[in-house]
Chains A and B, each alone.
Chain A
Amino acid sequence: MIRVMLPAHLRNLASVDGEVLVPVEGPVTQRTVIDALEACYPMLAGTIRDHVTQKRRPFVRFFACGQDLSHEPLDALLPEEVSGGREPYLIVGAMAGG
Chain B
Amino acid sequence: MSRVRVLVGTRKGAFVLESDGKRQNWDVSGPHFGGWEIYHLKGSPADQNRLYASQSSGWFGQLIQRSDDGGKTWQPVGNKFAYDGVPGTHQWYDGTPHPWEFKRVWHLEPSLTDPDTVFAGVEDAALFKTTDGGQTWSELPGLRGHGSGPHWQPGAGGLCLHTILIDPSNATRMFVAISAAGAFRTVDGGTTWQPINRGLRSQGIPNEEAEVGHCVHRIAMHRSKPDVLFMQKHWDVMRSDNGGDSWTEVSGNLPTDFGFPIDVHAHEPETIYVVPIKSDSEHYPPDGKLRVYRSRTGGNEWEALTNGLPQRDCYVNVLRDAMSVDSLDSCGIYFGTSGGQVYGSADAGNTWSAIVRDLPPVVSVEAQTLKG
Residue ranges of A at the interface with B (Cβ–Cβ < 8 Å): 7, 9-10, 13, 43, 45-48, 50-52, 57, 59-60, 93-94, 96
Given A9-B36, A13-B63, A13-B76, does the pair A51, B82 have CB atoms closer than 8 Å?
Answer: yes
Distance A78 CA – B58 CA, assembled complex (angstroms)? 27
B57 part of interface (Cβ distance < 8 Å): yes
Residues of B within 8 A of A46 (CB): 61-63, 79-80
Give which listed residue, B35, B36, B60, B102, contacts A52 with CB less than 8 A.
B102
Given A9-B35, A52-B102, does the pair A93, B76 have CB atoms closer than 8 Å?
Answer: no
Q: How far is the CB of A37 from chain B (nearest CB, A)?
A: 13
Distance A46 CA – B55 CA, assembled complex (angstroms)? 13
Total contacting residues, chain B, CB less than 8 A = 15
Given A9-B35, A9-B36, A43-B76, does the pair A57, B59 have CB atoms closer than 8 Å?
Answer: yes
Distance A51 CA – B102 CA, assembled complex (angstroms)? 10
Given A13-B76, A52-B102, does the pair A47, B36 have CB atoms closer than 8 Å?
Answer: no
Contact of A48 with B82 in the complex, beta carbons under 8 Å: no
| Consensus secondary structure, chain A interface | loop
B225-257: CB near A (< 8 Å → 1, else 0) gives: 000000000000000000000000000000000
Residues of B within 8 A of A59 (CB): 58-59
Contact of A60 with B80 in the complex, beta carbons under 8 Å: no
Contact of B61 with A9 in the complex, beta carbons under 8 Å: no
**Nearest A residue to B80, CB-CB:** A51
Q: How far is the CB of B266 from chain A (nearest CB, A)?
A: 36
Q: How far is the CB of B73 from chain A (nearest CB, A)?
A: 11
Residues of A within 8 A of B35 (CB): 9
Residues of B within 8 A of A10 (CB): 60
Q: How far is the CB of B230 from chain A (nearest CB, A)?
A: 36
Distance A95 CA – B35 CA, assembled complex (angstroms)? 14
Contact of A60 with B58 in the complex, beta carbons under 8 Å: no
**Nearest B residue to A52, CB-CB:** B82
Contact of A45 with B79 in the complex, beta carbons under 8 Å: yes
Distance A51 CA – B57 CA, assembled complex (angstroms)? 15
